[in-house]
Amino acid sequence: MMLPSNDPARKSWVPVPEGSDFPIQNLPFGIFLTATDQRLRFGVAIGEHVLDVSALAVTGLLGNLGFDMEVLQDSTLNRLAGLGRAASRNLRERLSYLLAANCADLRDREDLRATLLTPMSEVQMCMPVHIGDYTDFYSSIEHATNVGIMFRGKENALMPNWKHLPVGYHGRASSIVVSGTEIVRPKGQMLPADATNPVFGPTRLLDFELEVGFIVGKGNVMGQPIPIAATEDHMFGMVLFNDWSARDIQNWEYVPLGPFLGKNFASSVSPWVVTMDALEPYRAMGPAQDPEPLAYLKGEGPANFDIALEVQIIPSNGQAKTVSRSNFKYMYWSMQQQLAHHTVNGCNMRPGDLCASGTISGPTEDSYGSMLEITWRGSKPITMPDGSERKFIQDGDTVLIQGHCQKGEVRIGFGGVSGKVLPCVL
């Protein structure tokens, strides 16, 4: 789909530095506030600035977008997401027109530019949506295989159902926090090696999980599944996601009902929602699926996206270390298949719900998406620039995840998601 807003030749009158995540071809949606105005309002990223869409909406420059403009005054993007893909597309196309270098409507209104554009360094980004429900999938075959080998051996690495359906679980939405929020090391029960009774205390095996998620747009009525051919009409956009994990707590508790306290203490999400339309030029074929999925999971065409991903560990007052370079295109189960499966039983999705990919690992050791895999349960520590070692994440470490798509000079980025680990509260 070639939308005018995706034209690689399009330039903006707003300066966009080379290598920026936010050229005019992106225009991700977010919620922000400033020190001088604490109201939560709708913004769009362009270069090193945030365009105040809430304020722009009352100028008349957005014209008739086919929906009630009051939606653009909300403190979250839920209502806009719920209007469906056409509404988001109309808004993005209009914003692209107004920000284009050859459009004078806003470019030549110095009075408006001064009030509508704020440097990113002067804004605080907030949660873009209210997440009512959150589902975490387990859709990377490399990750599932690696974890299976560690705990069950090569012969039983994948569970019998894994290649037949997108495995997932329902997570805790209340502890999903926006990028930059500090993460307190959790405590809980753990079973030490060779012990018969559990102990209680701070997790010793704190991990990140490199993930990408999609925000649900238009929902569905309970009892009415979303067919796979219609799934993308129900997707608002994508975010980066770090599903923090306490591996020792998780290992002790997860049988028989799955993740609980080892997962629900915190997850970090990037503040900018990159729309599905902005990602359209970066479609990619996923891995061949064998056996062939059941009919309700069979889609057509390239369903994955070529999103290059990187994870850094940044110690307090120390130099960053890149520990993973992976790509979303490696995912065995696509987002379309995840949503089709999620609703095939009649489950109703709502605007703002979040579906995360599960850990994204690639085929090589440097593309693994968690410390559990990178250090192979701690048996292969990584060396930091200061000479210290990491088997898992230490107090004071910041984990930064970044991601972008690129063709030629056009780079569509997510802006990153980060979180610093604080000591456990005893």
- Active site members: 143
| Tokens found for residue 280 | 């359209």
CB within 8 Å of 109: residues ≥ 6 apart: none
DSSP string, 230-261: GGGGGEEEEEEEE--EEHHHHHHH-TTT--ST
| Nearest CA-CA partner of 418 in 306, 307, 271 | 271
**Nearest Cα residue to 378 out of 391, 365, 394, 395:** 391
* CA 168 to chain centroid: 16
Neighbours of 374 (CB within 10 A): 24
| Residue 86, CA atoms < 13 Å, CB-side half-sphere | 4
Instruction: Kindly give, in sequence order, each residue whose CB lies less than 8 Å from that of residue 188, ignoring residues fewer than 6 positions away.
Output: 200, 203, 246, 249, 253, 261, 262
Question: 251 — phi, psi (to 5°)?
Answer: -65, -35
130 contacts 31 by C-beta, under 8 angstroms: no
Main-chain dihedrals φ then ψ at residue 263, nearest 5 degrees: -125, -30
In contact, 164 and 384? CB cutoff 8 Å: no
Instruction: Decide: 344 and 337 in contact? Cβ < 8 Å.
Output: no
Three-state DSSP class for 308?
Answer: strand
Rounded CA gap, 66 and 41, in Å? 21
Q: Are 361 and 378 in contact (CB under 8 A)?
A: no
Cβ neighbours for 269, distance < 8 A, ≥ 6 positions apart: 127, 176, 177, 178, 179, 213, 239, 240, 241, 242, 354, 417
DSSP 209: B
Bridge partners, 50 (sequence order): 45, 118
The answer to whether 249 and 192 are in contact (CB under 8 A) is: no
